[in-house]
Chains A and B, each alone.
Chain A
Amino acid sequence: MKKILILGGGTGGTMMANKLHRVLDRLEWEITIVDQDKTHYYQPGFLFIPFGIYQKSDVIKPKGDFFPAGVKVIYQEIDRVEGDQNKVFLMDGTSLSYDYLIIATGVETRPEETPGLNGELWYKNIFDFYTIEGAVALQKFFKSWEGGKLVLCIAEMPFKCPVAPIEFVCLAEAYFTGKGIRDKVDITYVTPLSGAFTKPIATKMLSQLLDEKNIKVIPDFYLESVDNEKKVIRSYDEQEIPFDVLTIVPVNMGSEMIARSGLGDDMNFVDTDSETLRSKKYDNIFVLGDAANIPTSKAGSVAHFAAEVLFENLMNAIENRPLKAKFDGHANCYIETGYGKGALIDFNYDTEPLPGTFPLPGIGPFGLLKNTKINHYGKMLFRWIYWHILLRGREMPIEAHMTMAGKKNDVD
Chain B
Amino acid sequence: MWGSDREPHIAQTHREAPTRVPETEPRTGARSAAPAVELIDVTKVFPGVVANDSVNLLVERGEIHAVVGENGAGKSTLMKILFGMQAPDEGTIRVGGQETGFASPKEAIAAGIGMVHQHFMLADNLTVVENIVLGFEPTRGPRLDFVKARAKITELADVHGLPIDPDVLVETLAVGERQRVEILKVLYRGAEILILDEPTAVLVPQEVEELFRNLHSLRDEGVTIIFISHKLDEVLAIADRITVMRGGKTVATVDPRDVDAHQLAELMVGSELPTPETRESTVTDQVELEVEGVGVRAGERWALRNISFVIRRGEVVGIAGVEGNGQSELIEALIGVRQADEGRIELGGLDITGWGTRERLENGLGIIPEDRHRQALLLSSPLWENAMLGHQSLEPFVDGPWIQREGARERTQTIVDAFDVRTPGVDTLAIALSGGNQQKLIVGREMVSEPRMLIAAHPTRGIDVGAQAAVWEQLRNARALGLAVLLISADLEELIGLSDTLRVIYRGRLVADLDPATVTPEELGSYMTGVRQEVTE
Q: Is B one of A's binding partners?
A: no
Report A's interface with B, CB cutoff 8 A: none
